Structure 1
Amino acid sequence: MSTESRILCPALQQRVTTAEAAAAMIPAGANVGMSGFTGAGYPKAVPGALAERIKAHNAAGGKPFRINVLTGASTAPELDGKLAEVDGIEMRLPFQSDPICRERINNGTMNYADYHLSEVAQYAWSGFFGKMDIAIIEVVGIREDGSLIPSSSLGNNKTWIEQADKIILEVNHKQNARMEGMHDVYYGAALPPNRKPIMLTEPGQRIGELYLRCPIEKVVAVVETNAADRNTPFKKPDDASRKIAEHILEFFDREIKLGRLPKGLLPLQSGVGNIPNAVLEALDSGPYKNLTAYTEVIQDGMLKMLKSGTLAMASATAFSLSPEGIEEFDKDIEFYRQKILLRSQDISNHPEVARRLGVIATNGMIEADIYGNVNSTHVMGTRMMNGIGGSGDFARNGYLSIFMSPSTAKDGKISSIVPMVSHVDHTEHDVKIIVTEQGLADLRGLAPRQRALAIINNCAHPDFKEQLLDYFERACASGRGMHTPHLLNEALSWHERFEQIGTMKPNA
């Protein structure tokens, strides 16, 4: 498909308009489903034009103009940032990573609902979010029959198109037209009691269609854009990240020798960020070949693994590439077309599939407590960071669930291992492995008190280890119960101390 022929449907050629004209079709209070997942495939023009309209409306006085924004996951400043800046979002779900959104969520001026990403489509179909008024979807192109060539993320696009009364399409000429054919859109999902098994038994298997179905009569506007996805470049792995990666690779080697993992491992799921990328980089420098990935996002590290042969195939719902990663992808897209499949997120994150494939899930965390509960969303228990994303989809259902973090934060003032987490996203029942740069704790088969000693001795920073052991020993001696010993008057005192004096260290 050439740059001049991205809109091949005659009827939709007649609906090409400006971003401003399209934004004028969105009323205050609307439920708006937008494409986008981890900074990929989000609409680039209409949200900004809508933000300008909201800004002008609010400046004129009267009732505030806000909409409810539903996406696949996080987007970028052109969408979340601009709408949040003009106080244009009433409710945001299911995941975000924008600093302005985060500030508004935490100061109470924006509502935010945090969901497991695999559940969002089902919730929408069940009516939990109300009627979907408008969908704004970025695509690579429109075919003669009105079907859509998906962009760099699929996310919840299928659901938004099906649910919305009206559809606005952004045809992005900057997205590589040769992505056509990389997608697998599954139309066989259904709500109970009509649900059938998803017959996907290996990451590279196709079970759906190449294109998004789109009723032509629902499309009210087509906007042409020419703007790249915007993602923050990944940092080079630091010493802590490299040590965490080393611990995980040593663990894999041990599991292979014990016969609990095959030599080719199992399909990999990797959360987004610098530490997961360091793990991918370490895997790429190891002895592994022809691995597979069944995950949410394709990161820079996975492109390198595909090129080297460490990774044979990757299934995801979106890209999450740095500018350098996008350049590499575009340069050799014919190679990557044969090795990458993008699926809707209700399939990429589906618990049934993750359990069947035996996924190895590696995700980041904010903190873990001595019994293995993990907080991955809230700073000091109350302030939202980004959201749970897909980590819970894979942690509970994967063959292995690994959570990673440096052992300290804020220049050593915060311990990532605490007596009790200030917020629970992943319970002790779903967390199998905890890793910091200090070491790895394998929690499988351990009772709570055994887990506590494994986590403290292997994962805690030396500056906090003695303090944690003291807490645990006094909790055991308290006589309040020996299954999961706690001192309730001290369990969250570490967080309280940080709030009061700026450090968790007791003698600061």
Structure 2
Amino acid sequence: MSNAARILNPALRSKIMSADEAAALITPGANVGMSGFTGAGYPKAVPLALANRIDAAHARGEPFRIGVWTGASTAPELDGALAKVNGFAMRLPYQSDPNCRKQINSGEMEYTDIHLSHVAQYAWFGFLGHLDVAVVEVAAVLEDGRLLPANSIGNNKTWLDQADKVILEVNSWVNAGLDGMHDIYYGTRRPPDRRPVPINNPGDRIGDRYYTIDPSKIVAVVETDSRDRNSPFTPPDANSKLIAGHILDFLAHEVRRGRLPRNMLPLQSGVGNVANAVLGGLIEGPFEDLTAYTEVLQDGMLDLIKAGKMRFASATAVSLSPDAALAFNNDAQEMKKSVILRPQEISNHPEVIRRLGIIAMNGLIEADIYGNVNSTHIGGTAIMNGIGGSGDFARNAFLSIFMTPSTAKNGAISCIVPMVTHVDHTEHDVHVVVTEQGLADLRGLSPKQRAKVIIENCAHPDYKPALREYFTRALEESPGRHTPHLLDEAFRFLPEWKAQQASRAAE
């Protein structure tokens, strides 16, 4: 479909302009809601033009920074470009760009890390301030002014509703055959007028196929023809395969015990190579008729659908490797029979997650011996990416599984530690911890029982002696014996222990 055929509303065709002209409509200090979720459906042209405009203003000595709100992470053309020119005053709710990360951790950029299910309601409640402009990628503009969404929904509905001015990027690369894949729910309410979200199965459709917007709010339409920039997933390494094997064995055990049905329960999976390895393992596993209720559709879920193992997947965006993204776009007409894309306030809705009984699988940076999980910070002070939707799912899941290799930095760092340096998911929300070494089922265990199981099943052999020693001394010396800790040693024990071991070996 040509660009001309993508913009059918005559009034909006009169607002077609260049990206530079559209970017000129964004003023310094504005809060801008941009589309984009895990590298899908982000605007391709206006952010680059805006970055050039900001850079030129700074060269003249003029201040020019903006607040940017998205669904989740975007791409170098958005986050990277604006960070390079110091264009962010505030960024929320999630990012994964190295330039952003550097500026956040150096204190140059403010960053608010938010549960993804909370973002839209925070905007509606007025917690985030006023939204001045929305820049949203769509696949087409219908004759009556309604908008056909692209490859991600995220918070787009809320940005279109709330912004004073709207700039559209109409991307003709996106296959218009995905018309019917989206489910835009307009039934959310603010307290005290809330009603249950009427989803009882991942495939339930409860909303509209299109965004509805007052066309008078649209101040610019920019035509693009560009695919999303996605990074390829690396083939699963030996540790990822071991982690996947432990999880699949555990799920099979739960089926045998009668705690899961034979087709399990709807799956949620975080983004990454380990998560894809788990999904890949399901293709060879005994489970059939699977479903997913998750944030993002990854390569592994796409493969499960094509293999006939997964019947249906609900998400808010696709997060695919370049080859898989091209295949998904080409097969959009067929894929919409098995895939539904929703706003992230629905894909991550705690009520729906609890009702459906989700099996949640997410990654971590470090877990401590009592089951607390840090998924966002390095050394307790430097942000990596953000909590994303892992908290939405972990707190409300039927099964909350966290997975990681047992060590990082080629074995220099243990990912199982006495006490995490930052807590994102408390021990109360973590049911299972998995590394390549094994799996710790923490359900129904006391803190001291959890510590023993995590150390013995999940810690790397190089670090088990240190963790055992710490726990043994904590049992004897801690003032409180319910969750024994040596608080003056918890954050420095392992590095010091490893240095001592190296020194002894040198002797």
Alpha-carbon distance in 1 for matches of 2:307, 2:358:
22
Alpha-carbon distance in 2 for matches of 1:20, 1:341:
34
Q: Provide closer, same or farther for how the CA distance between residues 141 and 494 of structure 1 changes in structure 2, counting only shifts above 3 A.
A: farther
Alpha-carbon distance in 2 for matches of 1:125, 1:330:
33
Alpha-carbon distance in 1 for matches of 2:326, 2:127:
40
Q: CA deviation at 1:287?
A: 1.3
User: In 1, are the aligned partners of 2:8 and 2:141 still within 8 Å (CA)?
Assistant: yes
Identify the residue that residue 365 of structure 2 maps to in structure 1: 366
Alpha-carbon distance in 2 for matches of 1:93, 1:507:
43
Which whole-Å deviations, capped at 9, do the CAs of 1:348-380 have from their partners, x for residues lacking one?
Answer: 000000000000000000000000000000011
Which whole-Å deviations, capped at 9, do the CAs of 1:291-347 have from their partners, x for residues lacking one?
Answer: 000000000111110001111000000000111111221332222110000000000
Alpha-carbon distance in 2 for matches of 1:409, 1:296:
26
Alpha-carbon distance in 1 for matches of 2:98, 2:184:
32
Identify the residue that residue 30 of structure 1 maps to in structure 2: 30
Q: CA deviation at 1:13?
A: 0.3
User: In 1, are the aligned partners of 2:175 and 2:330 still within 8 Å (CA)?
Assistant: no
Q: Provide closer, same or farther for how the CA distance between residues 7 and 473 of structure 1 changes in structure 2, counting only shifts above 3 A.
A: same
User: In 1, are the aligned partners of 2:183 and 2:208 still within 8 Å (CA)?
Assistant: yes
Structure 2 letter corresponding to 1:242: K
Matching of residue 43 in structure 1 with residue 43 in structure 2 = yes
Matching of residue 158 in structure 1 with residue 152 in structure 2 = no
User: In 1, are the aligned partners of 2:230 and 2:319 still within 8 Å (CA)?
Assistant: yes
Structure 1 residues not aligned, in runs of 5+: none
Matching of residue 124 in structure 1 with residue 118 in structure 2 = no
- SS of 2:174's equivalent? coil
Alpha-carbon distance in 1 for matches of 2:317, 2:487:
43
Identify the residue that residue 505 of structure 2 maps to in structure 1: none
Matching of residue 456 in structure 1 with residue 455 in structure 2 = yes
Which whole-Å deviations, capped at 9, do the CAs of 1:50-109 have from their partners, x for residues lacking one?
Answer: 0000000000113x2100000000000000000000000010000000000000001010
User: In 2, are the aligned partners of 1:464 and 1:505 still within 8 Å (CA)?
Assistant: no
- Residue correspondences, number: 502
Alpha-carbon distance in 1 for matches of 2:411, 2:499:
9
Alpha-carbon distance in 1 for matches of 2:417, 2:485:
12
User: In 1, are the aligned partners of 2:120 and 2:345 still within 8 Å (CA)?
Assistant: yes
Alpha-carbon distance in 1 for matches of 2:498, 2:3:
57
Structure 2 letter corresponding to 1:374: V
Q: Which moved more, 1:260-269 or 1:472-481?
A: 472-481
Identify the residue that residue 341 of structure 1 maps to in structure 2: 340
The 5 Å alignment of 1:65-104 reads: 65-104=64-103
Q: CA deviation at 1:3?
A: 4.4
Identify the residue that residue 486 of structure 2 maps to in structure 1: 487
Matching of residue 423 in structure 1 with residue 430 in structure 2 = no
Q: Provide closer, same or farther for how the CA distance between residues 506 and 282 of structure 1 changes in structure 2, counting only shifts above 3 A.
A: farther
Identify the residue that residue 507 of structure 1 maps to in structure 2: 501
The 5 Å alignment of 1:75-474 reads: 75-474=74-473
- SS of 1:183's equivalent? coil
Alpha-carbon distance in 2 for matches of 1:147, 1:49:
26
User: In 1, are the aligned partners of 2:7 and 2:140 still within 8 Å (CA)?
Assistant: yes
User: In 2, are the aligned partners of 1:414 and 1:504 still within 8 Å (CA)?
Assistant: no
Alpha-carbon distance in 2 for matches of 1:76, 1:175:
17
- TM-score, normalised on structure 2? 0.98
Structure 1 letter corresponding to 2:501: N
Alpha-carbon distance in 1 for matches of 2:451, 2:98:
35
- SS of 1:507's equivalent? helix
- SS of 1:353's equivalent? helix
Q: Structure 1 stretches (4+) deviating beyond 6 angstroms?
A: none
User: In 2, are the aligned partners of 1:2 and 1:177 still within 8 Å (CA)?
Assistant: no
User: In 1, are the aligned partners of 2:3 and 2:223 still within 8 Å (CA)?
Assistant: no
Q: Provide closer, same or farther for how the CA distance between residues 4 and 117 of structure 1 changes in structure 2, counting only shifts above 3 A.
A: same
Which whole-Å deviations, capped at 9, do the CAs of 1:407-435 have from their partners, x for residues lacking one?
Answer: 00001000000000000000000000000
Q: Which moved more, 1:95-104 or 1:472-481?
A: 472-481
Identify the residue that residue 12 of structure 1 maps to in structure 2: 12
- SS of 2:462's equivalent? helix
Alpha-carbon distance in 2 for matches of 1:130, 1:480:
45
User: In 2, are the aligned partners of 1:415 and 1:504 still within 8 Å (CA)?
Assistant: no
Which whole-Å deviations, capped at 9, do the CAs of 1:227-246 have from their partners, x for residues lacking one?
Answer: 11011100100000000000
Structure 2 letter corresponding to 1:10: P
- SS of 2:194's equivalent? coil
- SS of 2:488's equivalent? coil
- SS of 2:16's equivalent? coil
Alpha-carbon distance in 2 for matches of 1:41, 1:410:
33
Which whole-Å deviations, capped at 9, do the CAs of 1:28-61 have from their partners, x for residues lacking one?
Answer: 0000000000000000000000000000000011
- SS of 2:428's equivalent? coil
Structure 1 letter corresponding to 2:449: Q
Alpha-carbon distance in 2 for matches of 1:479, 1:429:
22
Which whole-Å deviations, capped at 9, do the CAs of 1:260-319 have from their partners, x for residues lacking one?
Answer: 011000000000000000000001111111100000000011111000111100000000
Structure 2 residues not aligned, in runs of 5+: 503-507
Structure 2 letter corresponding to 1:380: G
- SS of 2:318's equivalent? strand
Alpha-carbon distance in 2 for matches of 1:505, 1:284:
44
Q: CA deviation at 1:471?
A: 0.1
User: In 2, are the aligned partners of 1:413 and 1:505 still within 8 Å (CA)?
Assistant: no
User: In 1, are the aligned partners of 2:174 and 2:329 still within 8 Å (CA)?
Assistant: no
- TM-score, normalised on structure 1? 0.98
Alpha-carbon distance in 1 for matches of 2:333, 2:303:
15
Percent identical across equivalent pairs?
62
